[in-house]
Amino acid sequence: MKVGIIGAGQLGRMLGEAGHPLGVQCRFLDPSEAPCAATTGEVVGAAFDDAEALAALAAWADVITYEFENVPVDAVRGLSVPVYPPPAALEVAQDRLAEKRFFQDHKVPVAPFAPVSSEAELAAAMVALGLPSILKTRRMGYDGKGQFVINDEGQGLGAWRALGEGPCILEKVVPFDRELSILSARRPSGEIVCWPLVENRHAGGILQWSEAPAAVGDDVQAEARSIATRVLEALDYVGVLAIELFDLGGHLFANEMAPRVHNSGHWSIEGSVTSQFENHLRAVLDLPLGDTAMAAPSGMLNLIGEEPPLHQLLSVPGARVHRYGKSPRPGRKLGHVSVIGSSPAEVRRRLHQLRAVVQGVES
Report the 3 state secondary structure along 46-70: CCCCCHHHHHHHHHHCCEEEECCCC
Domain with CATH 3.30.470.20 in the chain: 178-359
pLDDT of residue 281: 98
pLDDT of residue 333: 95
Show the low-confidence residues of the chain (pLDDT under 70). 141-144, 360-363
Q: Are 211 and 152 in contact (CB under 8 A)?
A: no
Pairing mode, if any, of strands 192-194 and 178-186? antiparallel
Domain range 2-83, CATH architecture: 3-Layer(aba) Sandwich (3.40)
pLDDT of residue 104: 97
Domain with CATH 3.40.50.20 in the chain: 2-83
Helix axes 96-105, 87-94, angle to 10 degrees: 110
The class that CATH gives domain 112-172 is alpha beta
Strand extents, DSSP E, the chain: 2-6, 25-29, 42-44, 63-66, 113-116, 133-137, 147-150, 168-172, 178-186, 192-194, 198-203, 206-212, 239-248, 251-258, 298-304, 319-323, 333-340
Q: 132: cis peptide before it, omega within 30°? A: yes
pLDDT of residue 142: 65
How does pLDDT run across 208-230, given as a tens digit for each residue? 999 999 999 999 999 999 999 99
Task: Name the CATH topology of 178-359.
Answer: D-amino Acid Aminotransferase; Chain A, domain 1 (3.30.470)
CA 342 from centroid of its chain's CA atoms? 27
Q: What angle do CA 230, 231, 237 make, to 5 degrees?
A: 115
Q: How many residues does the chain have?
A: 363
Q: What CA–CA distances, in Å, run from 17 to 85, 129, 276?
A: 20, 45, 12
